[in-house]
Amino acid sequence: MTAWLQALAGSFFDGTLEPADRAIVLCMSTDVQFESDQLAITPLGPRDRAWLIETSGDGVKRRDFFAWWTPGLDAEYFLGRALAQMWSQMRWRPPVNQMERNLLQDVANSLHIAHKLDPSLSYPLAEWAEVLELLGSDDEERDWVRSQSKALPTIGYRRQNVTVTLPGNWSMRLPGSFSDFDSDENNALCALDPPREIWFTAYQFTVAPSAQSFESKRQGILQSQPELLHEDESYIAEATIQEKLRESGERYFVLNSSNVCPSKRAVCTILFENPEDREWATGVWRSLKPGTSPAE
């Protein structure tokens, strides 16, 4: 494994990997694209050029690429398990469903077990304290972890924006704090970061697309003079933002959009309460991209 790691790091410098405008993902799911100003994104955090150069010379020195190294369910295993979840899966806000609460609890349990087995390891104390806070823990462990934490939390790709892949090969860039998209009874997908919501539904045209039919749709949208417009050579989208009232009397805002390319269409709706989030909602909508597949 260290020989493989050494070769992997060396591929950044031997011409195997072409220079990219974003960090290259190593050994992680491609359904979600995380962001970093470093060269590589790994399960245990981003890696800079110096790390990659050193690893390309000796893979044994940088075994910290792996979540754990020694066999068995020891302290390193539980610590590595917690770190991997904290980097990629954790939303650093109160949980919105049982799945997120279970994840928080699993991270807290893993750190507790690891520390009990070997307190001499290096623990992410600031993030550990944050996890216990999000769980609403009120016990001696939380007080102790908080008292030991001296630094600001830094672990967590989802503290920044992420780009997610959606059905129909659409993609969208949104804050990493949003939950995974989940479907309702009408097969519409929804992601939450209360009080904000993003709804998405993709459609595939049943009739074979043509340049003429797409141009007709484009002209129809342009003639309607929509409030918000986003287009390029093979894509056009329109949106409006309306203020509404809940039954409780609280106001909120809804961005409704229709997004069309030659072979498919998507409807995206974004709900928010703070008027200052208007620019944010517009930016998320504009980040929606149709993508293409070999069949198209």
Nearest to 160 by CA among 84, 90, 85: 90
What is the average per-residue pLDDT within 259-272?
Answer: 92
Which of these, 149, 88, 147, lies nearest to 123 by C-alpha position? Answer: 149
pLDDT tops 50 at residue 58: yes
What residues contact 20, with CB distance under 8 A and at least 6 apart? none
- Give me the mean pLDDT over the 14-28 stretch: 81
Q: What is the 3-state secondary structure (H, E, C) of the chain?
A: CHHHHHHHHHCCCCCCCCCCCCCEECCCCCCEECCCCCCEEECCEEECHHHHHHHHHCHHHHHHHCCCCCCCCCHHHHHHHHHHHHHHCCCCCCCCCHHHHHHHHHHHHHHHHHHHHCCCCCCCHHHHHHHHHHHCCCCHHHHHHHHHCCCCCCCCHHHCEEEEEEHHHEEEEEECCCCCCEECCCCCEEEEECCEEEEEEEEECCCCCCHHHHHHHHHHHHHCCCCEEEEECCEEEEEEEEEEECCCCCEEEEEEEEEEECCEEEEEEEEECCHHHHHHHHHHHHHCECCCCCCC
- Cα separation, 84 vs 129, whole angstroms: 17
| pLDDT tens column, 151-174 | 899 999 999 999 999 998 999 999
Q: Which residue has better confidence, 206 or 199?
A: 199
Share of the chain above pLDDT 90, in %: 65
Tell me what pLDDT residue 293 has. Answer: 52
The rounded mean pLDDT for the chain is 90
pLDDT at 296 over 50: no
CA distance 241 to 260: 18
Neighbours of 294 (CB within 10 A): 4
CB 191 within 8 A of CB 197: yes
Residues 6 or more apart whose Cβ sits within 8 Å of residue 145? 125, 128, 129, 132
Domain boundaries, the chain: 2-148, 161-287
- Evaluate if residue 294 carries a pLDDT over 60: no
Average pLDDT over residues 270-284: 97
Superfamily in which the 161-287 domain is placed by CATH: Mog1/PsbP, alpha/beta/alpha sandwich (3.40.1000.10)
**What radius of gyration do the chain's Cα atoms show?**
23
Strands 24-25 and 228-232: unpaired
Give every strand in the sheet of 161-166, ordered side by side. Answer: 32-33, 161-166, 170-175
CA atoms of 218 and 234, how far apart (whole Å): 9
